[in-house]
Amino acid sequence: MIRILVVEDNEKLRQLMCTVLAKHGYEPVMAGNGQEALDMLDQQHIDLIISDIMMPNLDGFELIRRLREAGYNMPVLTVTAKDSFRDKQTGYLAGTDDYMVKPIDINEMILRVGALLRRAQIASERKLAVGGLVLDCDSLTVTVNGQSATLPQKEFQLLYKLLAYPNKIFTRHQLMDEIWGMDSETEARTVDVHINRLRERFKNTQEFEIVTVRGLGYKAVKSHD
């Protein structure tokens, strides 16, 4: 089960977040401040952290800095009342992956947690093989029958996502949220443009096909399925 550490000094909010996470199938663990969170990381594996910023003993910014300096690379979702651009900038520079401003929509929190975990999974797996085709995350290359091509980052991430879940239908908004980010101002039509580029690029490849599901979105179908 995916274990999520909730770092929040407000006990009621901490309990609420953990209750909702548990209802969605996650295993929540709690810490009241940054120091407690660091102590907990020495004792158990954590897949994702949701952290407040303004806390006693060790605030969220310093917690994130210490995590990244120590080599921890799990996703961090920052939840805070500090909503200025400078605060957000400080958070992202410290190493946070996403940012929500209080009061938060608890359902949106769950969506963001899911998106962060999926991105982390793609980042950790690094390579994906589909028949004679291999995608390499480190080099953004796709190799088919010994010939390699380097793709633009978004095209690569889009192709990797579709091929990692063959036959699964993804809506345009799902793909936008996971690859361009929830706060992106890019239009959903951008997904169509990238899909068309991928189709043109791999039109002679026999390993897969990207199928349009009318009214829903896209899916990848392996040729040997």
Output the tens digit of pLDDT for each of the chain's 225 residues: 789 999 999 999 999 999 999 999 999 999 999 999 999 887 788 999 999 999 988 999 999 999 988 888 899 999 988 888 888 888 898 999 999 999 999 999 999 999 898 878 766 667 888 888 999 987 899 998 888 999 999 999 999 989 988 888 999 888 888 788 755 666 778 999 999 999 999 998 889 999 999 988 999 998 754
Q: What is the pLDDT of residue 179?
A: 84
Peptide bond into 166 cis (omega under 30): no
Q: Are residue 167 and residue 116 in the same domain, yes or no?
A: no
**In this structure, are 48 and 19 located in the same domain?**
yes
Q: What was the pLDDT predicted at 187?
A: 75
pLDDT, residue 211, reads 96
Cβ neighbours, 10 Å, residue 179: 25
**Helical (H) or strand (E) element with 127:** strand 127-130
Which pLDDT value is given to residue 183?
58
Domain boundary among 74, 106, 122: 122
Sorted by sequence, the CB contacts under 8 Å of residue 87 that are 6+ apart come out as 53, 80
Query: Which pLDDT score is estimated for 70?
Result: 84
CATH of the domain at 188: 1.10.10.10
Q: What is the per-residue pLDDT for 45?
A: 85
> Do 36 and 102 have their domain in common?
yes
CATH number, residue 45: 3.40.50.2300
Nearest of 124, 101, 126 to residue 48 by alpha carbon: 124
Domain containing residue 42: 3-122
Question: How many whole angstroms separate alpha carbon 7 and alpha carbon 55?
Answer: 9
Domain count, the chain: 2
Joined tokens for residue 60: 């969220």
* pTM passes above 0.85: no
> Which domain-ending residue is among 122, 146, 173?
122
